[in-house]
Structure 1
Amino acid sequence: MPSPAIDDYLKTIYHHTEWQTDRITPSQLAAELGLAPSSVTEMVQKLAAQGLVSHRPYGPVSLTPEGEQRAAAIIRRHRLIETWLVREFGYSWDEVHDEAEVLEHAISDRLLEGIDDRLGRPRFDPHGDAIPDAAGTVHREAFVLLAAAPTGHAGRVLRVSDRDPELLRAVEAAGVEVGAEVTVTDAASLRIADLDVALPAGAAEAIWLSA
């Protein structure tokens, strides 16, 4: 049955391994959701009983195929709504997350399909995160976190994390956009269109480039 609480757990687990390979631990899950570890442990046990996650005591949590399919469906809703709000209503990329959190549980499948069609079936949201298609499939190219990219690495900005709205605004003010062609000059700056751009603190851990 639909459940916003379950969907939030599945989304968080899904999102954790999109841009790196380490599976999420219960303590990380509790921190991400802002919940007590005991509450998370109880819910993870319930999700495991429903066949949505795989988990052993004190070990990391991963989605089962059924859990991944359900997570991809709600992620699809969230990211299509974010894209819709930016393109159709003029929202900035730092404003859309909270609105999408509310709307993803409210709109019908019919409306979601209409939004997807109107937007031209986009593959990525405003932050560069992949939008799963109706079958739950995503298409991503090889990537590298800016903090791990060597000096001289050239590539496109694939994604900027939406975790911190203030950082998003600072990154945008610096002139960094998803899709921009950049060259890494050092850990704190990029070259964009022959200009050296200083990055705000924390940006290197929030920007992903094509590998």
Structure 2
Amino acid sequence: MPHSVAIDDYLKTIYHHTEWQTQPITPSQLAAELSLAPSSVTEMVQKLAAQGLVTHRPYGPIRLSEAGEERAAAIIRRHRLIETWLVHEFGYAWDEVHDEAEVLEHALSDRLLARIDERLGHPRFDPHGDAIPDAGGHVHREDFVLLAAAPAGHTGRVLRVSDRDPDLLRAVEAAGVAVGAPVTVTDAATLRIGESEVALPPEAAHAVWLTA
């Protein structure tokens, strides 16, 4: 792949890792996320550090610099606007948009992206509940809690469902759980929506976030 595309994919993965938790990504985690050999990741991280896009010491975690954060936010913005566009304008399901957006995010011009943003009404969140950075790279997130960490009786709205597993997205949707829906936690695998209790796959406990 073109070198700039590879850089964007690295920065995007590092950025995404700390959106919903606070621990910085390690080289081994980054290699696993990108399905690359650790030696390849080490070499690229050194290049990113030399370009001032990340900070990293040997065997330590990797953090985005201010310049890296700005560039990562820009490509994340592209990806999530495209996902939102595909759902709203073309009828894609939320489990179908990720791979399409991976291709299109590198192909659309800034001008077209701005028109898409305008047509969509400048959305703040994508179909999965992930925040869309604004043109300045800023995002707004409410306080959140992972379903696995939410106590029984916790009431809130569904903020986000991870898009990593399309099968899980389909199962969550089939259970009637949608981003924005008010729910009450029965346990890590069961939510009450209105008067009904819905069972979720066990994996959902670590893939669904609620308002805190």
Bucket of the pairwise TM-score, normalised by the shorter protein = over 0.9
Aligned length, in residue pairs: 211
Farther off after superposition, 123-132 or 196-205: 196-205
SS at match of 2:159: strand
CA distance in 2, matches of 1:123, 1:187: 28
| Equivalent position of 1:50 in the other structure | 51
CA distance in 2, matches of 1:135, 1:23: 23
Residues 131-187 of structure 1, C-alpha deviations (whole Å, 9 max, x = no match): 000000000010000000000000000000000001000110111000000000012
CA distance in 2, matches of 1:128, 1:186: 22
Farther off after superposition, 196-205 or 69-78: 196-205
| Equivalent position of 2:76 in the other structure | 75
How far off is 1:194 after superposition? 1.2
| Equivalent position of 1:27 in the other structure | 28
How far off is 1:188 after superposition? 1.0
CA distance in 1, matches of 2:61, 2:100: 30
- RMSD of equivalent CA atoms: 0.9
CA distance in 2, matches of 1:192, 1:93: 20
Query: Where do 5+ consecutive residues of structure 1 fail to align?
Result: none
| Equivalent position of 1:207 in the other structure | 208
CA distance in 1, matches of 2:171, 2:19: 24
Instruction: Give TM-score scaled by structure 2 length.
Output: 0.98
Instruction: Give TM-score scaled by structure 1 length.
Output: 0.99
CA distance in 1, matches of 2:195, 2:179: 17
| Equivalent position of 1:41 in the other structure | 42
1:110-189 pair list within 5 angstroms: 110-189=111-190
How far off is 1:200 after superposition? 1.2
Query: Where do 5+ consecutive residues of structure 2 fail to align?
Result: none
Aligned AA (1:182)? V
Question: Runs in 1 of length 4+ with deviation above 3 angstroms?
Answer: none
| Equivalent position of 1:197 in the other structure | 198
How far off is 1:71 after superposition? 0.1
CA distance in 2, matches of 1:59, 1:168: 33
How far off is 1:201 after superposition? 2.2
How far off is 1:2 after superposition? 7.5
